[in-house]
Structure 1
Amino acid sequence: MTKSIKNNLITYSILLCVACVGIFYGNAIFSNFKFLRVWEVTNILILLIGIPFLFFQEKAKLPNFWQDNITHKKRFLFPIAIGIVFGILDVLVFKSILHPEPYQELPPFVQPFPYSIFIYISGAFEVEVFYRLIPLTLILLFGNWYKDGEYYNTFFWAGAILTAIREPLEQLPEGNVLLLTYSLFTGLLMNFLQAIWYRKAGFLATLSIRLGHYLIWHILLGVYIQYTDLLR
């Protein structure tokens, strides 16, 4: 086993540990909050499905998690900044424009702080495992094998589009045409950029984009609602 694969496994294990801590924490405070979302052990077991794909990043011509020739700016800083931009846009549209009045209780897209840190790190991790790590690794493994990789780029762009479509179609909100268009466009664009950054800087880069978005949209917005709206 190479050092790069060991680092992939260690990082994946740390993310699993964060999810486990979130389960214990969530169960400890469950009786204090309505609509608290708490993972179960089955969520952790399902995430184990992603482990075999940690061994095939290089064979799929994807960067390993901590590849030496990729800077932390590419791996973390730029991707997080991209996610933050999408998060700010969502707050402006869904909170400032569509729901400017104070909330009377925590809406379903946020959770109480600081528990929200654990549930949304785990949620971002889960999404990226099943939206990027597994499908793109499979697609690009095949693309690198088929005719000795002659059509690798075609496989990548097809995989990027297919993985970008899934989330916005699954999470289309109810509303008018403009709201649906905004949600579909931003969802497609963010997921498409995540595929590009996965190829460019690895799994931690695509995860960082989602974490940047969740930081604004789920965590900090939740803090604002919890400690401002609900205390009025």
Structure 2
Amino acid sequence: MFIGKAVWTYMGVDHPIVQNWTGTWSALTFAAVFGFIAIKLTEKTGFPGIWDEKISNNERFLYPVLLGLGFALVEILVGLAMNLPNIHVAFPLSIPVYLSGGIFLEILYHLIPVVFLIWLVSDILLKGKYQTEVFVVVAILASLWEPVMQITGMYQMGMLPGMGFAAGLFIFIFAGNLIPITLFRKYGFLAPVIWRLTDYSLWHVIWPMIYY
């Protein structure tokens, strides 16, 4: 994360995604510190460790890659349906931006809130009970944050052609959060990171080079 931030800061990347991104140095430091603590709490809160021997490499790498490619293809189709302009950071600076951004977002949006909330509610308040039920509630709440923010912003900018499309897009973005959280629960934190980076590689890096 820090290397990517240093690269695009040094290169003076001038793009709305970078300008509006929450990846300030303080935010990156926050993500690194609390992400490290969250990793230490993963097994206590019912998640596999990063290198859990019970998780196969297919589960840790192959399945997330396939899901990431599939999700990116749907994103491409949605972008074509909306006739989106080129909203992506140009290659080659797209590589450090989306590499570091993908890792950062998985830590900030999923690892930290999901692990800490399960630890607080299930382990501390409920004395280790109802961990699965707490996970389901937390996963749904964590998955709602991004679609609510994005759909609200797109509505305000007049980018939504209709309520049906908005509802479908909301569900799609919701799925884009629930999928990595589910991968995290089943296969450990590397799985959602691989999923995110695969998705970003096709949607944000490769596709713009082909289409625009």
Q: TM-score range by the shorter chain?
A: 0.7 to 0.9
Residue in structure 1 matched with residue 91 of structure 2 by the alignment: 113
Taking the TM superposition and a 5 Å limit, the aligned residue runs for 1:21-100 are 21-30=3-12, 37=18, 40-48=24-32, 49-95=34-80, 97-99=81-83
Three-state SS of the structure 1 residue aligned to 2:44 is coil
Q: Give the AA of the match of 1:85.
A: G
Paired residues, what number?
200
Report deviation, 1:36.
Answer: 7.5
CA–CA distance in 2 between the matches of 1:165 and 1:185? Answer: 9
CA–CA distance in 2 between the matches of 1:54 and 1:224? Answer: 37
The 3 A distance-change label for structure 1 pair 179 and 148 is same
The 3 A distance-change label for structure 1 pair 182 and 64 is same
Taking the TM superposition and a 5 Å limit, the aligned residue runs for 1:1-12 are none
| Aligned-pair Cα RMSD in Å | 2.3
The 3 A distance-change label for structure 1 pair 30 and 197 is same
Taking the TM superposition and a 5 Å limit, the aligned residue runs for 1:65-214 are 65-95=50-80, 97-99=81-83, 107-108=86-87, 110-141=88-119, 142-172=121-151, 173=154, 174-175=159-160, 176-214=162-200
Q: Give the AA of the match of 1:206.
A: P
Gaps of 5+ in 2: none
The 3 A distance-change label for structure 1 pair 27 and 76 is same
Larger Rg belongs to: 1
Q: Give the AA of the match of 1:37.
A: V
CA–CA distance in 1 between the matches of 2:175 and 2:24? Answer: 31
Report deviation, 1:170.
Answer: 1.2
The 3 A distance-change label for structure 1 pair 87 and 150 is same
Q: Give the AA of the match of 2:150.
A: Q
Deviation >3 Å, runs of 4+: 33-36, 144-150
Taking the TM superposition and a 5 Å limit, the aligned residue runs for 1:211-222 are 211-222=197-208
1:102-155 C-alpha deviation (Å, 9 max, x unpaired): x5xxx33x1111221111121111211122111111232232455553311110
Residue in structure 2 matched with residue 16 of structure 1 by the alignment: none
The 3 A distance-change label for structure 1 pair 222 and 28 is farther
Whether the aligned pair in 1 keeps the contact of 2:4 and 2:99 (CA below 8 Å) is no
Whether the aligned pair in 2 keeps the contact of 1:124 and 1:211 (CA below 8 Å) is yes
The 3 A distance-change label for structure 1 pair 43 and 152 is closer
Give me the identity figure in percent.
24
Report deviation, 1:77.
Answer: 1.1
The 3 A distance-change label for structure 1 pair 149 and 182 is same
